A and B are shown apart, each in its own frame.
Chain A
């Protein structure tokens, strides 16, 4: 690999250890283009990303060459180019939300010593697909395949709050028609608009009277890049263990996990 001048060669050698600085600097320009969603003038783009215009221009020349940035021929403004979407597709193709979720819940369970469940939206409602057992807490009614009540469980309430309203209405109506002994966990009850709004606002759900007495659960949603709920993560533990530390420790840890996961799936909380 030959570089045009010696100075650069030594710079690149050093970078073998600590990475290549210009890649990390340059990404600030791309980050700015992602954030603005509008074609941008060089001077604004440079200003936002903390570059001198000439320096930003040098980066943009190269980003244009690799196709990640385009420049409007008439206005001279910059915007994301076709390679941006190809990179996005590459990530979408190889990224497996369930695999990322499994890693995340395993960490969360280790950290909190709680049982942690991954719950997805199935044909019959909120469905457990994985349970990470801490080994300390016995959990008799949560296993892969368990279907939760929409209104009588923490996980169900998360889907009730974050799925499209029509789907929630249909699912709740279906649940009410079920005969006793259908095997669904949790008892159907009325959920008011205020409760739903509170869940949306605080970003997690729980129920006052849990399906298993003495066991409490808290559940939070994971979103994808289009803002749709992909799954819920639910922490479950015995009252005497989970309740004293829920607000101070466990709920923040749960939310940190779901937010990191959502972020990794491309989700950005809408601006303002």
Chain B
């Protein structure tokens, strides 16, 4: 930082508390939060009071446990709406979901694995139980395999290893995958630039996923369609596959063109 300006220390301390919450799979007790954030419980409590007032955290009235609150949700949603690539993806996926009668997803990487950040159920509302925050398997889902093929996060490799060795508690949604052909499968995905699921892990349900790359060339997120095999054939020349590939190319190119952001905001 050139200006080397002083920050606000208590904001940075609050960041430690929020990070501790983000690392936890479940609501937390004050003393555990304090320990993870390296604070004394009384001090942590003061921070939590303010974080609660703002809506960063919520406290369950019955258990007293802390979890991320509505303002945390709002920050995530605002990021989805404000980021030019995710904002464009949301609009285009809505059209595709309605054209094919399937569900659309935006999946991003979190420390727990590939996580659903956005769903558009279209008119398939009642059929699939996928919701924001749900986590996919890295090896056993079309979404996850794209992170295996293109992702850069340091947690990916150990997660693949754990899943393939069946040591992982199966937290994510996905099928069991054989170790032997996994590298080959990832190679194919890299070559073809998309990944599909056919009838697995859910019989009769297919999915097609494409990677969206950030301006830096890193994998930014994954866009997916998921729906009944009847509505969503996923062969090489299937309309949904071709249109998703097109969407992936357009969105990744949008990011690569530095003029686009200004152009879009001028419209």
Contact = CB atoms under 8 A, between A and B. Distances in A.
A95 B76 contact: no
Contacts of A8: 9
B61 to A, nearest CB: 8
Interface in B163-214: none
B80 A85 contact: yes
Interface string B24-41: 011100000000000110
Given A88-B73, A91-B72, A266-B77, A166 B123 contact: yes
Interface in A154-202: 163-164, 166-167, 170
B74 A58 contact: no
Nearest to B57: A91
A223 to B, nearest CB: 12
Given A24-B54, A38-B265, A122 B126 contact: yes
Given A12-B10, A59-B8, A87-B18, A123 B127 contact: yes
B6 A61 contact: yes
Contact of A23 (B5, B50, B61, B79): B50
A88 B8 contact: no
Contacts of B112: 93
B73 A266 contact: yes
B49 interface: yes
Tell me which of B50, B56, B122 has the highest count of chain A C-beta atoms within 10 A of its own C-beta: B50
A17 B21 CA distance: 22
B46 A266 contact: no
Contacts of B75: 30, 34, 68, 80, 84-85, 87-88
Contacts of A264: 70
Interface string A1-34: 1011000100010011111111110110010011
A108 B26 CA distance: 28
B115 A89 contact: yes
Size category, B interface = 35 or more
A39 B265 CA distance: 10
B228 to A, nearest CB: 13
B73 A225 contact: yes
A240 interface: no
Nearest to B87: A37
For the residues of A in contact with B, the DSSP-based class is helix
A66 B15 contact: yes
B76 A20 contact: no
Given A57-B5, A62-B8, A66-B12, A23 B47 contact: yes
A19 B127 CA distance: 45
B76 A1 contact: no
Contacts of B72: 87-88, 90-91
B129 to A, nearest CB: 12
A91 B119 CA distance: 15
B148 interface: no
Contacts of A17: 46
B151 to A, nearest CB: 14
Interface of A: 1, 3-4, 8, 12, 15-24, 26-27, 30, 33-39, 57-59, 61-63, 65-68, 74, 79-81, 83-95, 103, 121-123, 163-164, 166-167, 170, 224-226, 228, 263-266, 268
Interface of B: 1, 3, 5-12, 14-15, 18-19, 21-22, 25-27, 39-40, 42-43, 45-47, 49-51, 53-54, 56, 61, 67-83, 87, 90, 98, 108, 110-112, 115-123, 125-127, 131-133, 135, 258, 261, 265
21 contacts: A1-B43, A33-B82, A37-B82, A58-B5, A66-B15, A83-B18, A85-B117, A87-B22, A88-B73, A90-B110, A91-B69, A91-B73, A93-B115, A93-B133, A94-B67, A95-B68, A103-B61, A121-B125, A164-B98, A167-B125, A224-B132
